[in-house]
Amino acid sequence: MQDWFFIDPTDLKVTENLYPEREIAEAVFAHLGKEFFLRIPDSEIDYLALYMKGQGNPSTSSVISQEMDDLVLDILREIRSAFEIDLTNDLNLRISLALHCSSLIVRIRYDMQLKNHLTDYIRQTFPQGYDIATYFASCLQKRFHQKVKDEEIAFLAIHLYKSLMEQQNNAGTKRVLVISSLRRSENLLLRQTLSNWFTDQIAELAFIPPAEVDESCLDRYDTFITTEKGRFYDMGLALYINQFPEKQDYLNLKLAMDGFESINDILQIFHQDLFSPFSKKCSH
């Protein structure tokens, strides 16, 4: 823009309702215009608003339109016919998919689809969820005449696999709280990993941002995990876990939920390089 290169209004035909994103874009550009002595055209404001709408991560079901809920329900019915798996009664899944698709459809229409460096990992780890997500994406493609990329399919797979996992009988007794500031999709991916590891032990698995943790959580949950080395980690309340957990994270979590049952449980929390043979004879 400092070189007087702006988006041509004819390049962008926006049909979305851009409230409140456009108000935010206007405020942003008002500040930039004063800072850099620029007169920002409406086309630039519209594009920033559109980008924010496509990147949005809504968290409340009140923003879901009836049209979006009907769309998700119709696709789940098609999935039921194709895979003989009924997900239509999972209200939480319908809400999650509707919230996700509200932004996804904007990205599809305006060629702004997200990158996802975990696509291969998700495809290999949750193959059934990915297959169903591919079918879900094909239904969107028929309606909006735009191809849904593999990276976006992987995000859909996380939501669908979560529902598949919850359909399984769970006899666990442990109530686990994960204190996390990660994005919704990243938390869902972590949720599936933890559910896979401890499917027979976890009765409840909740995710709460650090700012929402209060005293009532101390009584409700048995095990506390955090994805950041912040206040709750420093206090010793929560066990730190990597966003992409590995074997050592599994061992640490298993210990936190099971406690010490044998000397091997204690040895497993230390790296082998910390041990060395000791054969000195003691004399009295």
Domain of 66, CATH number, reads 1.10.1790.10
Residues paired with residue 178 on neighbouring β-strands, in sequence order = 207, 225
Do residue 201 and residue 111 come from a single domain?
Answer: no
Residue 4 placed within a domain: no
- Domain containing 82 equals 61-165
- Among 104, 135, 165, the domain-final residue is 165
Q: Do residues 38 and 87 both lie within one domain?
A: no
In a domain, 2, yes or no: no
Q: Evaluate whether residue 23 is within a structural domain.
A: yes
Q: Are residues 217 and 156 in the same domain?
A: no
- pLDDT, tens digit (0-9, with 9 covering 90-100), for 50-59: 888 777 766 5
The pLDDT value given to residue 21: 82
Q: Are 38 and 70 part of one and the same domain?
A: no
* 100 and 161 assigned to the same domain: yes
User: Tokens representing 177?
Assistant: 């709280």
Same domain, 182 and 205: yes
Question: Is residue 281 a part of any domain in this protein?
Answer: no
Whether 3 shows a pLDDT value over 90: the answer reads no
Site of tokens 């990660």:
182
The domain spanning residue 261 has which CATH number?
3.40.50.2300
Name the average pLDDT for the chain.
83
CA atoms within 13 A on the CB side of 151: 9
**Which of 165, 193, 210 lies at the terminal end of a domain, its last residue?**
165
**In whole angstroms, what is the distance from residue 273 CA to residue 275 CA?**
5
Same domain, 189 and 201: yes
User: What six digits make up the tokens of 168?
Assistant: 């399984």
Q: Which helix (H) or strand (E) holds 24?
A: helix 21-36
Q: What's the longest Cα–Cα distance across the chain? A: 94
Q: What is the mean pLDDT of the segment spanning 164-183?
A: 76
Q: Does 117 reside within a domain?
A: yes
Domain shared by 155 and 93, yes or no: yes
pTM of the model: 0.55
- Do residues 94 and 74 both lie within one domain? yes
Q: Which residues of the chain form beta strands (DSSP E)?
A: 174-179, 202-208, 223-226, 239-240
| Residue 32 belongs to a domain | yes
- Nearest Cα neighbor of 54 from 95, 4, 3, 110 is 110
Looking at residue 169, what is its pLDDT? Answer: 47
**C-alpha 30, offset from chain centre:** 33
Same domain, 49 and 17: yes
Tell me which DSSP letter residue 280 carries: P
Residue 99 tokens read as: 């919230």
Q: Is residue 50 part of a domain?
A: yes
Q: Mark whether 204 and 141 lie in a shared domain.
A: no
Report the number of distinct structural domains present in the chain: 3
- Contact (Cβ atoms closer than 8 angstroms) between residue 186 and residue 157: no
Decide if 198 is inside a domain: yes
* CA dist., res. 82 & res. 191, Å (int): 27
Mark whether 66 and 158 lie in a shared domain.
yes
| Confidence tier at 266 by pLDDT (50, 70, 90) | low
Closest CA to 224 of 176, 185, 263, 183: 176
**CB of 79 closer than 8 Å to CB of 115:** no
Task: Give the model confidence (pLDDT) of 189-209 as tens digits.
Answer: 888 888 888 877 777 888 989
